[in-house]
Amino acid sequence: MAGVFDSRKTLVRILMGLIMGLLGVGMLLYLVPQGPSTSEATPDAIAEVGGQTITVADIRAQLSQIEQRGQIPKQLEALYAQQILNQLVFQKELEYEAKRLGITVTDEERADRIRQYLPTAFNGGAFVGLERYSAEVQSRTGMSVAQFEELVRQGLLEEKFRRLVTDGISASPDDLREEFRDRNEKIKLAYSFLKPEDLESKIVPSDSEIKAEYEKNKSRYQIPERRVVRYGLSDINQIRQSVQIGDDELKAIYQRNIEQYQVPNRVHVQHILFKTVGKTDAEVEEIRKKAEDVLKQARKTGKFEDLAKKYSEDVSKEKGGDLGWIVQGQTVPEFEKAAFGLPKGAISDLIRTQYGFHIIKVLDRETAHTKPFEEVKDSIRAPLVLERTDKDAGDIADKMAGEIRRSNRASIDDLAKQFHLTVAETRPVAVKDAILEFGNSQDIKDAIFRLRTGELSQPMRTDRGYVVLSLKEVQPGHQGSPEEVRDRVIADLKHEKAAELARSRADELARRVKAGEKLDAAAKALGLEAKTSDLFARSGSISGVASGRQLAAAFQLKPGDTPPPLALGSSWLVYQVAAKEEPNPADFDKQQKELQEQVLQNKRNIAFEAFRAALESRLKQEGKVKLMPDRMKSFGTFG
C-alpha cells in the first residue's frame, strides 16, 4: 500500500532508486556494506577504488540475493554481474570523493530519512525500541538493520552529490518549447514491417543450393564431441514420501513456539486514496471535494471495489483497494484510529493523513486470539518434512560419497541397488547443449565433460535430488557430413535469404509507393501486410515495431511523404506519413509546470551521468581506480 504503509516491494524500490543507475534489466539488488580491504589480502579482487577492493565474492553475493527473488537466466548472468560491478565501483568512487571534499552524512540526517521510510518505527516522537524496529526493517525490506541503515546513508550521500552537481541547472524557454513539441506533435503512419523470420517459410532451398552452401562454409559445420552418461538418482520426492512426523512432535513444536500463533487485533480493509502530497492549498481543496463526491457514491451504491479501481491513487487500486489484514502499529495513526474504530462492513468519513484523503471500508475484523493446533499443524509439518527430507537425502549422499571414494570404478547398477537409486541415461549431449534432466545445471555439465569412461562422479545436488554420473560413451567431434548437418545448412540458408528478401521487398515496396501506388495495395501485391498506426508522439511508439525516437525523421515529413526504408536491426520498415497533428499552443500554459519538471529532471540526469563518467575518468588517471576485467570471465560473457 503506497502512503499508509510501504510494502516491502515499494520501500525497497524507493531505496534502490536513490543509489542505483542500472540498465533497465529489472534488477533488484540489496547492497551489502563492504569494509575496506586490500588487493593483496583478497586474491579474487576484481576492482580497487581508493584502496578499497571489490571481489568476485562480493558480486556473487549480490547475484545470490537477486536469485532469491527470481532465477537469473544463465545467459544474462554476465550482464547482471557487470552492472553490479559498475554500481559497486561508483559507490566506492563517491565515498572516495566525499572523503576528499569533506562531504558526510550525519546521524541526524539518516535518522530523519529513516523516519520518512518507516514512520511506524516511531510512536509520536518516541522510538519504538530496537527489537520492534529490527522486525519492521526485516519484514519490509528483507535486510538487517545494519544493511538498511547503510543503504540509507549511501542514498543520502548520492543525493548530496546530485544537488552539488545539478542545483544550478535551469530550464530555458527554448527547452520548454522543445519538450512541449516533443510531447504534443503527433503523427500517424501507414506502414509495413518486414521481419526476415516471417519470410523464412517462403524460402525452399534447392539441393544444389544446400550443397553449395555446405561446401562454401564447410568449416562452420563441425560436430562437437558428445557424451552419453548413465546416472543414478536419489529421488528427493521418494525420500519425502517416506518421512513420517507424528502429532505429538508437532504439538511439542507448537507449544515451544506458541507466540508465533498469537494473532493480534486486526482488520481487513479496503481504501480509496486521493493523494495531496506536494499540492497547494487550493489543489487540496479541489481534491477534498472530489473525495467527498466519491464517498457519497460509495455509501449510495455500495460498489466500493469499482470506485477504488476508478479513483484510487494507491497501488492497491488494481485489487479494488484491498489492503489485506492490517494490525495495530502498522499504519499511520489517523488511518489506524479510523480502521480499528469501524464495525464490519462500515465505510469511514474522509480520513486525512500525511499522504492525502482516504475512504476506508472494513471488510472483516478479528480480535486477538491464539490459533489452535489443528489449524496450524500442517504449516508446522511442511517445513519440518522438508528439513528431514533434506537431512535424509544428505545422509544418503554422504554414504554414497564414501562408497565412491573407496572405488570410483564401481558399477552404477550396484550403487543403485545399495541406495535405491533410479537409473537412467541421457541422450548424447555436447558442451553447449541444455541438459534438461538436471535443470541445465552447469556443475553437472562440467562434471560430464571431466569424467573418464567407467568412472563414477561424486553425488551432486539437483532439483530432483542427488545424482551420481557414469560416463558410458564419448562420440568424438568431427567435420559434419552433408547429411549430418543438412538441417543446420538449410536453417542458415533460409536465414540469409530471408534477410536479403526482406531488404529487396522493402526497397520494391518503397519504390512502388513513391511512384504513386497506395501502400496497402502495393504491400498486398508483394505478399506483405500493411497497417496504420494510432497517432503517437516522439515519446510514444508503434508497439512491437519502433519507438518515436527511432522514427524521429518522420516528424520532419509532410503527410503523404514516403522516405527510404528504415533498417531496424535485421528488419525493415516502409512507411508513409498518413496524418500529422501539430501541438495546440493553448495547451502550453496548462502543461508548463509539468514540462519544466520533466526538462529539469532530464537535464539533471544527463548532468549527473556526465559527472559520474568524469569522476571515474579522473580517478583512473590518478591511479585510484584499478579494474581486473579478466576476473569477470568467471561470470561468462555477454554481448
Domain boundary among 425, 447, 476: 476
Residue 595 lies in a domain: no
User: Which pLDDT score, from 0 to 100, does residue 126 have?
Assistant: 77
CATH assignment at residue 494 = 3.10.50
382 and 288 in a common domain? no
Residues contacting residue 427 through CB under 8 Å, at least 6 positions apart = 228
Residue 260 maps to a domain: no
Q: Structure pTM?
A: 0.57
Residues of the domain holding 393: 225-246+375-476
pLDDT at 17 over 70: no
Q: Is residue 176 part of a domain?
A: no
Q: 351 with 395, same domain?
A: no
Looking up residue 302, the CATH number of its domain turns out to be: 3.10.50.40
Is 393 contained in some domain?
Answer: yes
**Same domain for 133 and 105:** yes
Q: What is the chain's mean pLDDT, rounded?
A: 88
DSSP state of 484: T
Retrieve residue 161's grid coordinates: 552529490
Does the pLDDT value for residue 55 go beyond 70? Answer: yes
In a domain, 259, yes or no: no
Q: Is 332 part of any domain? A: yes
Q: Which pLDDT does position 71 carry in this prediction?
A: 64
The pLDDT tens digits for 144-154 are 888 889 999 99
Does residue 362 fall inside a structural domain? yes
- String of b and e for 103-114 (b: at least 16 CB within 10 Å)? eebeeebbeebb
240 and 101 housed in the same domain: no
pLDDT value, residue 230: 95
17 with 148, same domain: the answer is yes
Same-domain check for residues 147 and 282: no
356, 264 Cβ separation under 8 angstroms: no
Per-residue 3-state assignment (H helix, E strand, C coil) for 507-554? HHHHHHHHCCCCHHHHHHHCCCCCEECCCECCCCEECCCEECCCCHHH
- Give me the mean pLDDT over the 264-284 stretch: 92
Q: Looking at the structure, tell me whether residues 527 and 427 fall in a common domain.
A: no
Q: Which of 334, 367, 400 is the last residue of a domain?
A: 367
Query: Do 530 and 564 sit in the same domain of this protein?
Result: yes
Q: What is the pLDDT of residue 581?
A: 95
Other beta carbons within 10 angstroms of residue 359's beta carbon come to: 28
Pairing of strands 266-275, 262-263: unpaired
Q: What is the mean pLDDT of residues 334-361?
A: 94
pLDDT digits (tens, 9 = 90+) for 135-191: 888 877 777 888 889 999 999 999 999 999 999 999 999 999 999 999 999 999 999
Closest CA to 269 of 312, 310, 316: 316
Overall domain count for the chain = 4
Residues 422 and 463 in one domain: yes
CA 184 to chain CA centroid, nearest Å = 31
Q: Is 90 in the same domain as 116?
A: yes
Let me know the angle formed at the C-alpha of 222 by 217 and 226, rounded to the nearest 5 degrees. 165
What contacts 425, CB < 8 A, 6 or more positions away? 228, 229, 230, 231, 472
The pLDDT tens digits of the residues spanning 607-634 come to 999 999 999 999 999 999 999 888 887 7
Residue 212 has pLDDT above 90, yes or no: yes
Residue after which a domain boundary falls, among 581, 601, 620: 581
Task: Tell me whether residue 594 is in a domain.
Answer: no
78 and 147 assigned to the same domain: yes
pLDDT band at 563 (very low <50, low <70, confident <90, very high): very high
Q: Are residues 346 and 387 in the same domain?
A: no
Domain at 153, CATH number:
1.10.4030.10
Mean of pLDDT values over 558-587: 96
